[in-house]
Structure 1
Amino acid sequence: MNELNKINYIKTFVKNRLYNEYSGHDYWHIVRVVNNAQKIMLNESADNLKVIIASWLHDIGDYKLHNGIDKTKEIVFPLLKSMEFNNKFIDDILKIISEVSYNGGFNQPPSSIEAKIVQDADRLDAMGAIGIARAFAYGGNKGREIYNPDDNLNIYNSKEEYKNNNSSSIMHFYEKLLKLKNLMNTDTAKFIAHRRHEFMILFLNEFMDEIKN
């Protein structure tokens, strides 16, 4: 099986696994992350195959999709092993995926350019119009309020990590999404993130104006 066939096999595997996923971590999120990664790679020197495969598989075992249990290695290792990737390659993919998440990469930057690219690609999909749509999809999927007037929106100015799983969808912007612009690794992602960040600010300003008494 050549590289293209392997990628297509992984693509089909991911599509089948995420067929009924409605939390914003669906198949089309993965497609957008892959596309973002490809854009970033135009200006970066990296192992393209590792970036593409890690992008396709970065959410497949995520704890958010498995009742709080991370199943990345349980799913990814046998999948890639069955496709005759060697153990070193598989370990590299698992390490990239482990460094992609917001909490996983907040305090410690990714250790490879491949992980930096995939992390940036994933974070870009949490920003802008797509990010807004995904924030409310995820919040609704988890039974969260759209907004609560008791939210402490000043958290945007702090370095506190995103930890509150019960906060409103609007609070999620201040806890996490508005902080992403300053956490990008690559110049390409920083450029794209700037516009998406400004769009989220416009949205939040309009939202706050509309809920005023």
Structure 2
Amino acid sequence: MELDDSIQTIREYIKNKHSKDNSGHDYWHIERVVTNTQKILNYEKADRTKALLSAWLHDIGDYKLHNGTDRTKELIYPLLSSLEYPKSFIEDIIKIIKEVSYMGGYNTPPTSPEAKIVQDADRLDAIGAVGIARAFAYGGNKGRVLFDPNEMPTEYTEGTSYQKNTSCTINHFYEKLLKLKDLMNTDIAKKMAQERHSFMQKFLEEFYKETGYDN
């Protein structure tokens, strides 16, 4: 199957799986990550097919969407097999996706150009104006408190405890989002991240000002 044909099939599959998501991992998040991937690919050398397919599929088995269980391999194998991709190619896609995850900053570092690119593309969508909107969407989806001034952000020392995190949404900025700027892999993503990072800082300043906790 040609790449354009397989991507169209995968796009429809993703729409079906993610169309009703209200946690910030909906179809439009996936599409933005694909767009970010395409932008980065204009500056970085990588296998375009693997990068784009991984971007489309990066959240399909995410533990956050499956009650804490990673279903990446379970869902991707039959899908890509049905599109006649070879086993070795599918294994590469699964590896890329597993290396994209944040896991409190304790995930396996990306080992391929494709994983670095898709990780950057995904993290760019977690910061800036869209990142702020997604953070509160996810917090609301999980029933988290918006802000609790008595609850301090946690510095995680390993990925498992980060996965079990239930702190208020504002803490998420300090536990993850504000760290992402310095964790980008590619030069172009670092430049894109800087502006989005600054926007989040301004948002937090205004938030504390309006809530009276700016001192």
TM-score by length of 1: 0.94
1:166 is matched with 166
Map 1:52-201 onto structure 2 (within 5 A).
52-103=52-103, 106=106, 108-153=108-153, 160=157, 163=162, 165-201=165-201
Cα distance in 2 for residues equivalent to 1:113 and 1:103: 20
Which stretch of structure 1 is more off in the superposition, 100-109 or 39-48?
100-109
1:5 is matched with 5
Gap change, CA 1:20 and 1:52, over 3 Å in 2: same
Which runs of at least 4 in structure 1 moved beyond 6 Å after TM superposition?
A: none
RMSD in angstroms over aligned alpha carbons?
1.5
Cα distance in 1 for residues equivalent to 2:91 and 2:187: 27
Cα distance in 1 for residues equivalent to 2:203 and 2:151: 17
Structure 2 SS opposite 1:23: coil
Q: Is the 8 A contact 1:161 1:176 kept in 2?
A: no
Q: Is the 8 A contact 2:15 2:27 kept in 1?
A: yes
TM-score by length of 2: 0.93
Deviation of 1:75 after TM superposition, in Å, equals 0.5
Q: Is the 8 A contact 2:104 2:176 kept in 1?
A: no
Q: Aligned partner of 1:135: which letter?
A: A
Cα distance in 2 for residues equivalent to 1:26 and 1:95: 22
2:32 is matched with 32
Unpaired runs of 5+ residues, structure 2, are none
Report the identity percentage: 59
Which stretch of structure 1 is more off in the superposition, 143-152 or 113-122?
143-152
What is the number of residues matched between the two proteins?
Answer: 210
Q: Is the 8 A contact 1:98 1:104 kept in 2?
A: no
2:212 is matched with 212
Deviation of 1:108 after TM superposition, in Å, equals 3.9
Deviation string 1:70-122 (CA, Å, 9 cap, x unpaired) is 11111000100011000110000000000001018645420000000000000
Q: Aligned partner of 1:34: which letter?
A: V
